[in-house]
Amino acid sequence: MLIRPPDRATSDDEWRSFLSSRDFGELIAAGRAREVPVIVPTHFAYDGAATIRLHLARPNPAFAALAENPLAVISVFGAYTYIPGPWNAVEGTDVDHGVPTSYYAAVQAIVRCEIVDDAEQLAAILGRQLDHFQPEGHAAATDPEFFALFNGIRGVVCRIEEVHAKFKFGGNRTVKHRLRIADRLADRDGPNDVEARAQLLRRTTPIP
């Protein structure tokens, strides 16, 4: 993806924090000599450092692609919203000629994948996901009832080797311009506007 200098992550902590706030994305496995990659929407568990874990149904075509090439991409995005042209007009110019844009955050992690079939390791992957998605309580992933179902799934342990992160929130505009858009987002209060506004303000240095 195109990442212009104002949209780059300011540190590894920034993309790690964003990725930690997500638990659903796409696993993209290119394989070898395929016309198109295999793209799988999936829940996942990120450890906050360098490892992402997930599981898929055993017949999933991603496994054939990963057998050909263990390198894949896990792609997540969020805080996306549309910024109308009049909002984005440069101060002092005709608002009707303002150029609309989109604000969003996106992380694309290039990962090396290890397929997991061992029952105890599968239970560990499931345990992490159950702890995250059902913190109110759940049966143990080592429960024999779960073990009986493990022949229908396979785990994937993804080690992050490289990350492309983009935080597109008007970084090429003045602080005054960005704060004005933050006010507009607060007034509109549409889907994702709260999250987009929070990202915008986080990346905007306040006026002294």
Q: 43-49 contacts: CB < 8 A, separation 24 or more?
A: 43/129, 43/133, 44/74, 44/129, 44/158, 45/125, 45/128, 45/129, 45/132, 46/19, 46/20, 46/22, 48/16, 48/20, 49/16
CATH number for the domain that contains residue 110: 2.30.110.10
Confirm whether 124 is domain-assigned: yes
Cα R_g (the chain), whole angstroms: 21
Tell me whether residue 84 is in a domain.
yes
Please check whether residue 83 is in contact with residue 102, taking contact to mean a CB–CB distance below 8 angstroms: yes
The answer to whether residue 96 scores a pLDDT higher than 70 is yes
Examine residue 181 and state whether it is found in any structural domain, yes or no: no
| Cα–Cα dist 170/7, whole Å | 8
93 found inside a domain: yes
3-state secondary structure 4-30: CHHHECCCHHHHHHHHHCCCEEEEEEC
- Give the span between the Cα atoms of 69 and 63, in whole angstroms: 10
Q: Domain tally for the chain?
A: 1
Q: Would 177 be classed as within a structural domain? A: no
206: confidence class by pLDDT, cuts 50, 70, 90: low
User: What is the Cα–Cα distance from 38 to 22, expressed in whole angstroms?
Assistant: 21
**Does a structural domain hold residue 188?**
no
Note whether residue 46 is domain-resident.
yes
Range of the domain at 56: 5-171
Q: What is the pLDDT of residues 22-71, one digit of tens each?
A: 999 999 999 999 999 999 999 999 999 999 999 999 999 999 999 999 99
Q: What is the mean pLDDT of residues 74-79?
A: 98
Task: Kindly indicate the confidence band of residue 208, based on its pLDDT and cuts at 50, 70 and 90.
Answer: very low
Token representation of residue 85: 């042209």
Whether residue 55 lies inside any domain: the answer is yes
pTM above 0.75, yes or no: yes
